[in-house]
Amino acid sequence: MRKLLIIGIVFLFGNTVLSFASTVDTLQIPSTAMGKTYKAAVVLPNSYAKGKAVYPVLYLLHGAYGHFADWLSNTPNKNTVKDLADQYNIIIVMPEGETFSFYLDSPVNKSSQFETYITSEVIQKIDKTYRTVNDKKGRVIAGLSMGGHGALSLSAKHPELFCAAGSMSGAVDMGIMLEREPNDQVIKLMQPIFGDQSCKPDLYVQNAVMGMVDKIKANKLALIIDCGVDDFLIESNRELHRRLVYGKVSHDYIERPGAHTWEYWENALPYQVLFFSKVLKSNGVLIN
């Protein structure tokens, strides 16, 4: 009898904890631009169901070879993103970016229009579906590797949508792929974006975050950039940092031990969300 009572208490306690935990929605988001529908993972903080408040949103982008659920399934601690949503009372949206889109609009391929998808279709769907701060003052964006490029690039091109952006191990110089991997493999991967011109290094330079310093400076968005000292992308991140410093662009830049790994990104994400929380609080949209 006593054992049954203990089991019952544990069961009730467990249900109580679960009822106040963050929830994860898988949302179907159609793309008129690409003529297809993609999934996005949406983490709602535990406080969302308790009231009618509107919430700031973090758009969290995945890296190359990945998909929308990566941030929920690949971190060593599978609750990392959910815990951060609860801790800061923020909605975290993880949209699809395909394996090698770089979150660009392809000039040659109508089925690869991920800049338009994220900035127009995904944000619009999220704002219509959830109680969000439907304004740039409550919207931030971050990502890892290819997603780091995407976060910095999309925020640079669309400052009307975001108040802050962050990059973790960002592929800020797309041309580095030509040095790291066989050219024929890179060309094959980038053909959905650049088509037959994928062999031309100039295209990588033209579309890299590295060349957007003037645009970033003009936008005056809050920026945080970090990279592990053992990451193969460390030198390009250092170069971007140097250019931002030379251009007198305010930003946080962090190097810490680590490589291009999920262990590193799991450690990096809380620092980025803390940075964003300060920006959102100063904008008066963070829920206490």
Domain-embedded: residue 7: no
* Percentage, residues of the chain above pLDDT 90: 81
Which of these, 222, 186, 221, lies nearest to 204 by C-alpha position? Answer: 186
Average pLDDT over the chain, rounded to an integer: 91
Q: 232 or 181: whose pLDDT is higher?
A: 232
16, part of any domain: no
State the pLDDT confidence band at 181, using cuts at 50, 70 and 90: low
In a domain, 194, yes or no: yes
26 part of a folded domain: yes
Domains of the chain: total = 1
Please list, residue by residue across 252-276, b when 16 or more beta carbons sit within 10 angstroms of its beta carbon and e when fewer do. ebbeeebebebebbbbbbebbbebb
Token couple for 181: 């991997």
Q: What pTM, to 2 d.p., does this model score? A: 0.91
Task: CATH number of the domain at 105, please.
Answer: 3.40.50.1820
**pLDDT score of 116:** 98
118, part of any domain: yes
What does the pLDDT read at residue 196?
86
Query: Regarding beta strands 57-61 and 139-144, do their DSSP bridges make them parallel or antiparallel, or are they unpaired?
Result: parallel
Rg for the chain, CA atoms, rounded? 20
pLDDT of residue 47 exceeding 60, the answer is: yes
Rounded to whole angstroms, the Cα distance separating 86 from 8 reads 27
Which tokens sit at 100?
A: 């090698």
Q: What is the pLDDT of residue 37?
A: 98
Q: Which residue segment(s) compose the domain that 165 sits in?
A: 22-282
116 is a domain residue: yes
